[in-house]
């Protein structure tokens, strides 16, 4: 048994236990099951409730990673992927921290309860040790507003690199602009089995992503936050899906996230994106939600001018921080 100062550390067999103000924090591997998936989901919801902002991911992003981005790795139980997921819990089993990977590319995601930020140093210790066996560096994405995380990264030898993404929001108490659809185009949600191929095609074209296939789309529709009425498309006069988005609602915190949002390459710059976005905003305002969030890549990503033209504001920037191991 080994004991250390600071938070306090005890090593007992394969378990590592941290002591926080007379509270034991036990770290363990992520079990690839519904219980652990929901524990992370609930932590994300709770942290937004406490901070009233994205201190961690929004819950939609975890749904999307589990059921779309890395769905096949989770289903197959890919060991090299799953070992990058690790949990920190109280004695009572309450989750207060998690390390994840989003892209399985030596990228580290830290999810931590706002009251347990002192665990972050130990979480980075764990992740860096793991990555050192297979990579010469490790990277993590941090929003500029998270000053405490950035100070920790500097102390640990990370260097700030390029912009990673932007986050914008729309306050639904404000007026929503009107943008009309071109003649013959309509908006509806995906609801028929024979819609699937059409929906997959527009996603593949908009993001040049052939990996989004029928299997992945069916898995996405199983995510807890997926609602069929929020899987929206614009249909051309000849029946082709030409613009689309999925809306994810956090009912606990009364906001929504839009992810993904895309337009077919042959139907851009004719007002479809503006029309779909404003339609979504009106739908969500009618549900009495407070705010809508949407992410984009850094400049010159196509979505940036579109989102601003509709009225999304309060742009927050995230940056990659990288450390050589």
CATH of the domain at 267: 3.40.630.30
Q: What pLDDT does residue 23 have?
A: 76
Q: Answer whether residue 55 is part of any domain.
A: yes
pLDDT digits (tens, 9 = 90+) for 228-254: 999 999 999 999 999 999 999 999 999
pTM score, whole prediction: 0.92
Q: Answer whether residue 300 is part of any domain.
A: no
Average model confidence (pLDDT) for the chain?
Answer: 93
Q: How far is CA 100 from CA 63, 107, 159, 205, in A?
A: 13, 8, 20, 29
Q: Quick check: 131 and 108 in contact, CB under 8 A?
A: yes
Residue 117 has pLDDT above 50, yes or no: yes
Mean pLDDT of 21-33: 88
Mean pLDDT of 40-63: 97
Residues 27 and 83 in one domain: yes
Residue 43 has pLDDT above 80, yes or no: yes
Q: Answer whether residue 309 is part of any domain.
A: no
pLDDT digits (tens, 9 = 90+) for 271-298: 999 999 999 999 999 999 999 999 999 9
Residues 94 and 183 in one domain: no
Residues 33 and 104 in one domain: yes
Residues 49 and 97 in one domain: yes
Number of domains in the chain: 2
Q: Answer whether residue 271 is part of any domain.
A: yes
Q: What pLDDT does residue 15 have?
A: 53
Residues 130 and 182 in one domain: no
Q: What is d(CA 205, CA 223) in angstroms, rounded to the nearest whole number?
A: 23
Q: What pLDDT does residue 66 have?
A: 98
Q: What pLDDT does residue 194 have?
A: 84
Residue 72 sits in a domain of what CATH number?
A: 3.40.630
Q: Answer whether residue 303 is part of any domain.
A: no
Q: Answer whether residue 269 is part of any domain.
A: yes
Residues 117 and 180 in one domain: no
Q: What pLDDT does residue 13 have?
A: 46
Q: What pLDDT does residue 16 have?
A: 54
Q: How confident is the model at residue 8 (pLDDT cuts 50, 70, 90)?
A: low
Residue 106 has pLDDT above 70, yes or no: yes
Q: Quick check: 138 and 103 in contact, CB under 8 A?
A: no
Residue 164 has pLDDT above 90, yes or no: yes
Q: What is d(CA 28, CA 133) in angstroms, rounded to the nearest whole number?
A: 19
Q: What angle do CA 316, 317, 323 make, to 5 degrees?
A: 145
Structural domain boundaries, residue 39: 3-135
Q: Answer whether residue 159 is part of any domain.
A: no
């Amino acid at each position: 048994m080994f004991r250390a100062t600071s938070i306090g550390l005890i090593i007992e067999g394969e378990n590592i236990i941290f002591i926080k103000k007379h509270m034991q924090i036990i770290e363990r591997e992520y079990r690839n099951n519904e219980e652990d998936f929901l524990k992370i989901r609930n932590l994300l919801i709770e942290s937004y409730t406490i901070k009233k902002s994205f201190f961690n991911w929004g819950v939609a992003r975890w749904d999307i990673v589990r059921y779309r981005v890395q769905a096949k790795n989770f289903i197959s139980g890919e060991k090299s992927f799953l070992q990058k997921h690790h949990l920190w819990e109280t004695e009572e089993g309450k989750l207060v921290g998690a390390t994840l990977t989003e892209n399985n590319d030596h990228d580290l995601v830290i999810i931590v309860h706002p009251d347990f930020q002192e665990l972050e140093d130990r979480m980075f210790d764990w992740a860096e040790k793991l990555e050192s066996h297979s990579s010469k560096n490790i990277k993590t994405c941090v929003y500029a507003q998270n000053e405490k995380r950035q100070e920790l990264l500097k102390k640990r030898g990370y260097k700030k690199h390029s912009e990673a993404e932007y986050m914008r929001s729309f306050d639904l108490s404000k007026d929503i602009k009107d943008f009309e659809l071109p003649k013959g185009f309509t908006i509806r949600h995906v609801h028929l089995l024979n819609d699937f191929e059409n929906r997959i095609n527009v996603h593949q074209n908009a993001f040049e992503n052939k990996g989004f296939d029928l299997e992945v789309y069916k898995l996405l529709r199983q995510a807890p936050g997926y609602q069929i009425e929020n899987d929206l498309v614009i249909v051309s006069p000849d029946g082709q899906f030409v613009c689309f988005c999925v809306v994810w609602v956090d009912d606990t915190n009364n906001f929504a996230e839009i992810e993904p949002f895309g337009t077919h390459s042959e139907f851009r710059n004719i007002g479809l994106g503006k029309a779909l976005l404003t339609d979504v905003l009106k739908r969500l305002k009618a549900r009495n939600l407070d705010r809508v969030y949407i992410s984009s890549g850094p400049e010159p990503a196509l979505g940036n001018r579109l989102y601003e033209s509709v009225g999304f504001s309060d742009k927050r920037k995230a940056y990659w921080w990288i450390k050589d191991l």
